[in-house]
Amino acid sequence: MPLPLKRWFILAFVFASIAISFSIAVAAVDWQVIKVNGHDYLTVDNISKFYGMPAEVVPSGAKIQGETANHPLEFVSGSREAVINGARSWLCFPVLEYDGKSLVSRTDVAKTIEPLVRPHRVPNVGKVQTVVLDPGHGGYDKGQVSRYGAEKDFALDVARKLRPILQAKGFKVVMTREGDYFVPLEVRAKIANSAHNSIFVSIHFNATNDDPNATGFEIFSFTPRGAPSTSDSAVNANSAYMQPGSSVDAQSMALSACIYHSLLGQLREYDRGIKRARFAVLRLTKVPAVLIEGGFLTERGESKLISSKDWRAKFAGAIGVGIESYQELPVNKQPPMLVADYRRQAKSAPVDPVSQDGNANDAEGNLKQAGANAKQAGANVKEAGANVKEELGVNVKEADASLLELVGRSALLPQPPQPQKSTPAKTSLESAPIIP
Ligand SMILES: [Zn+2]
């Protein structure tokens, strides 16, 4: 029986209303692409309206800190530096001033801003059963060395502390190394690629010869196709643009955001930002992958902190929370907790026995102890390294059985013995030659 005419009118009206409001919604999100020298850009104003997030462009040369940023989207004129939701985030291309407007490259809107602002909308995001933990370096490759110990030992200790945390959250955990031996970078990537629904988290500590005062956290994911890495100063060098990207770079960026906000929100460290690099382990992994640099072994205060067991436990815990936050993205269907959320939570929570003061005291104690040791033994780095090794119980020679299953025993053996002096520098190791 046909519907009465009146009811048809009502239905038509309802459909028309839906159609009108839908077209308004679509109109509001229209991207107005502006071509400059053949490249596509979008105005900051357009981006701000699209996401419904207030934005600001500060003058070139201005310094912006995440915690003092006035808006959720902060850009610096002529710079690749931005602060997105309270964390420094590096664009692939600088913000361009053109015809009275501030422009952001289309690549950055798609590859940087979108996965950072709406990580929960990245396709296949948060699918993770296995977390592949990759403690950097190992064996003859010590990584960076401070007076308190070596990067390889600190990184392994963080991974060991993180494994039970993740297992308690229901993740399967595979470590690329269980002890003090070197695992080739391609094998580390192979381990991640062989695991089912895996993500890859590489743990490192930083160093620089340029600035003894350099401090802070940074996190890397693979540079998208057609873009330069964050450290590439020659932004106009076209050669970098044609490097292949990764089919999972949006997921990797979402993982970066989840872990980085947790780290910054829970440990008071300088914010160096969410960056892009073509490090070998990021290039060779085919699954969402990040590389964390957990502070500088070349800076006095920070190297003390890193030498503290309690601090490393807190650092591992924050990575664990970040990974869980990544897994929850498709469940919660909303952005992850941000720096400000973590800090608010910490303020309202009861006092944590592992406070920053406690760490400082602990680190101070370690420093005194190390100093005494050095005096007594007349040794410094070697001695401290040995102490740390002993403390961490780094004596495992055999790789994890599950790991061997994944990649085969032959992949891990044999290790070429390397003379100490030829230990590759960090930069050459982590940014091994790019194969186009
Ligand atoms: Zn390293």
pTM of the entire structure?
0.77
Query: In the structure, what pLDDT confidence band is assigned to residue 298 with cuts at 50, 70 and 90?
Result: very high
CA–CA distance, 236 with 227 (Å, rounded to integer):
10
Is residue 370 over pLDDT 50?
no
Closest by CA to 270, choosing from 217, 212, 338, is: 217
Cα of 141 from ligand 1 centre, angstroms: 9
Query: In the structure, what pLDDT confidence band is assigned to residue 3 with cuts at 50, 70 and 90?
Result: very low
Place of tokens 């790991």: 403
Cα of 14 from ligand 1 centre, angstroms: 61
Is residue 91 over pLDDT 70?
yes
Cα of 290 from ligand 1 centre, angstroms: 13
Query: In the structure, what pLDDT confidence band is assigned to residue 241 with cuts at 50, 70 and 90?
Result: low
Cα of 204 from ligand 1 centre, angstroms: 4
Question: What percent of the chain is modeled with pLDDT above 70?
Answer: 71
Least confident of 49-53, 192-196, 243-247, 276-280: 243-247
Ramachandran assignment for 170, one of left (phi > 0), alpha (psi -120 to 50 degrees), beta (any other)? left
Residue 337: what pLDDT?
97
Strand segments, DSSP code E, in 170-269 are 172-175, 198-206, 217-222
Q: What mean pLDDT do residues 303-321 have?
A: 98
Cα of 426 from ligand 1 centre, angstroms: 6
- Residue 39 in 3-state DSSP? strand
Query: In the structure, what pLDDT confidence band is assigned to residue 372 with cuts at 50, 70 and 90?
Result: very low
Cα of 218 from ligand 1 centre, angstroms: 12
Cα of 206 from ligand 1 centre, angstroms: 6
Cα of 295 from ligand 1 centre, angstroms: 11
Cα of 182 from ligand 1 centre, angstroms: 12
Cα of 133 from ligand 1 centre, angstroms: 14
Output the average pLDDT for the chain.
80
Q: What mean pLDDT do residues 298-313 have?
A: 97
Query: In the structure, what pLDDT confidence band is assigned to residue 66 with cuts at 50, 70 and 90?
Result: confident
Cα of 243 from ligand 1 centre, angstroms: 23
Place of tokens 């490097």: 243
Cα of 143 from ligand 1 centre, angstroms: 5
Residue 8: what pLDDT?
54
Cα of 51 from ligand 1 centre, angstroms: 36
Q: What mean pLDDT do residues 279-293 have?
A: 97
Is residue 369 over pLDDT 60?
no
